[in-house]
Amino acid sequence: MTRTMIGGYGPWAAGLLPDPPRLSFRRAEFTDVDAWRRRARERVRERLAAPPGIAARDVETLQRLSADGLDMERLRWRVGPGPPTEAVLLKPAGATGRLPGVLALHCHGGRKAWGWKKVARLAGTPAASVRAHHEQYYGGRAWANELARRGCVVLAHDAFAFASRRVRMAEVAGPAAGGAEPVEPDDRDADSLAAYNAFAADHEHIMAKALFCAGTTWPGVFWAEDRAALDVLAARDEVDPARLGCAGLSGGGLRTVLLAGLDERIRCCSAVGFMSTWRDFLLHKCHTHTWMLYVPLLPGELDFPEILALRAPAATMVQSCTEDPLYTPEEVRAAEGILREVFAKAGGADRLDFRYHPGGHKFDAGMQDDAFEFLLGELAG
């Protein structure tokens, strides 16, 4: 007997998933890709149940500086609930005219004390703890800086419940605090970082359940806040709003799937280290994934890769690693097959670039170079 995460109930639960799902473009009744996209996007938005009123307000620049061939700004804005969002904007030093804009979506990585710092840096040397994160996942690079140097305006912002948008331990009541003393994470204090990240990991299921009780979802909040950040980027004088893209690893790959699948402004994207099927998450791998993934009822209507395929036939890159422990290789291949089938039926078989790389969960320098070449090629002119 094949073992599953829910034991003998696995085959029964997997059998509840229609194949193809009810709103899949792979079904024979869907022939007009534009009509299908409108209908399916509307349903995904319903399932995400994003809270109303999420928009970037009171955008302000806190700091301007130039270093390492880049002009940099530290930004802040409010989206409505909770503390302000902090972000960095990077562009080639002295650049004139309108440039492509890319939203750099940071990962989860089990470290909610950080947000944009995972993918970008300001002048100076980051703390050793941040550098270690760059080494572990990004080949030692702050990849948003590297992409900006190649001719883009890049915006990286803190996602919901990360860094500036994090849950403050001192504000958490009773058992949800886990009995820990409140701590403010400090990049140069490993103990405070470990304590905060441990609290945030234990608190994640509480936040997800609370959001469900409020009639929304964590992916819905992600999508709404990332869309607000895209508004900020698109409104910049130095950005061509007709040439926008996004990219991210892991949790940033999940956010790429949501934003690129649902927002027409995204001309091209690179989703890295986050592609499989609902069946994989159901049977084998939900324990390796954050509560930030799950959207009730949606799996019966679209498989996970079909959220990204809502953009077909627009330019789309997916990068997966062959030894990534977060996914089952057979299900990653199945997700690739689903994407290819949808893109081909939509008349864009050549617009999907699905690549495999050796190694574990990462977005290393070679993978970044592939993504940059793809993004810059699609956003040129």
- Annotate 4-42 with DSSP letters as a single string: -TTGGGHHHHHTTS-SS-TT-TTSTT---HHHHHHHHHH
What is the per-residue pLDDT for 236?
A: 98
Under 8 Å CB-to-CB from 173, ≥6 apart: which residues?
A: none
What is the per-residue pLDDT for 286?
A: 86
Question: Which class is 1-165+214-381 in CATH?
Answer: alpha beta
CB 248 within 8 A of CB 104: yes
What is the per-residue pLDDT for 154?
A: 98
> Which of 237, 246, 234, 235 lies closest to 315, judged by CA?
246
3-state helix, strand, coil in the chain (%, to 5): 45, 20, 35
What is the per-residue pLDDT for 176?
A: 67
- Profile the chain (381 residues) by mean pLDDT over runs of 10 residues: 86 96 98 98 98 97 96 97 96 96 97 97 89 96 98 98 96 76 91 94 94 97 98 98 98 98 98 98 91 95 98 98 97 98 98 98 98 98 74
pTM, entire model: 0.97
Work out the angle at residue 145's Cα, subtended by the Cα atoms of residues 292 and 104, and round it to the nearest 5 degrees.
25
Residue 159 corresponds to which amino acid?
Answer: A
- According to DSSP, residue 166 is labeled S
What is the per-residue pLDDT for 260?
A: 98
d(CA 223, CA 356): 26
Would you list the DSSP string of 69-101?
TEEEEEEEEE-SSSSPEEEEEEEETT--S-EEE
What is the per-residue pLDDT for 2?
A: 72
d(CA 356, CA 183): 40
As a whole number of Å, the CA-based R_g of the chain is 20
